A and B are shown apart, each in its own frame.
Chain A
């Protein structure tokens, strides 16, 4: 399931949605800025970004500020930043996943 959990979304009182809530509660979506989860998610980014240089089309994303990484990923998710490949990758990220990625990249240097 694509659990794009919204932090301020009130749980609906039906059993079916209660089940969804349980899954979200025990799943990674609710773990705000989980470094280990960020490291796992970041493996997807490595495929393209790990060898970025100052002049490459695919930019470096290591060692950037948390707020900056989060804002850029949200902008790709919301399609306010252009780049179809990144819009596709960011399109399924939940707020918590973005927070975890931002934490990971803010404290990790390029391997």
Chain B
């Protein structure tokens, strides 16, 4: 089993709330994603057993939604918005700055497996651009100074 007892309990709790079990697919994927950091065929199978629906239905949904990473990433997933409002305030140069700082390109993970850098579309933080999301947290109105501080804090926490 990949999913912990705690995760299974959370998914079963959702089953009690929803009118139909299939609706629990997305909540279950969210629980799994938060625990594991990605979802894959083994996880689809475990979820399908818990909510008692065919595995293919879990896979079908999971592969549609881009937020659920399909393979392991670094401990911290840095997602920089490069849509219009952020781009107007320098998202491209922000991405370049992080690439240089971490010595990786978009889509890559640092050698110590700490940081993965990806670009994402609008995250609804347009009036506080430029911004990035690291794992669940938003970091807004970014400046070079702030980015330095954020990465340093995460590194010392790891």
A and B co-occur in one complex: no
